[in-house]
Amino acid sequence: DSGVTQTPKHLITATGQRVTLRCSPRSGDLSVYWYQQSLDQGLQFLIQYYNGEERAKGNILERFSAQQFPDLHSELNLSSLELGDSALYFCASSVGGLANSEQFFGPGTRLTVL
């Protein structure tokens, strides 16, 4: 158990809909990262927040947005969902905000768009 929690574990929705994924980092970690992993694909970095501020942005679509709240939990919002958005979405956290910080991954949220 990494100490990172994600909810929900599974999510099934229809095209065009909007969903929110939630992540709680390990106690004491200030950084939260979001990743997407499509079937048989590698992890794709989406976005990072550090202590409430956006720190880095990767391959995140404009239909997706995220935020980190004062209690350091984070939410990833996915809107106008398409079939291709079906994937595992992982959240990771780290103490620091730099690229050499060790990241601890949550169990993921499996999103299925029908």
**Interface residues with other proteins (CB under 8 A)?**
2, 4, 31, 33, 41-45, 48, 55-58, 88, 90, 92, 97-108, 110
Q: 20 or 45, CB closer to other proteins? A: 45
Minimum distance from residue 13 beta carbon to other proteins (Å): 19
Q: 8 or 15, CB closer to other proteins? A: 8
Residue 81 CB neighbours (<10 A) = 20
Residue 87 CB neighbours (<10 A) = 20
Q: How many whole angstroms separate alpha carbon 86 and alpha carbon 79?
A: 12
Which residue matches tokens 């048989």? 40
Preceding amide of 8 cis, omega within 30: yes
Q: 15 or 59, CB closer to other proteins? A: 59
Minimum distance from residue 56 beta carbon to other proteins (Å): 4
Question: Which tokens is 3 given?
Answer: 């100490």
Minimum distance from residue 16 beta carbon to other proteins (Å): 26
Minimum distance from residue 34 beta carbon to other proteins (Å): 11
Question: Which tokens is 20 given?
Answer: 């929110």
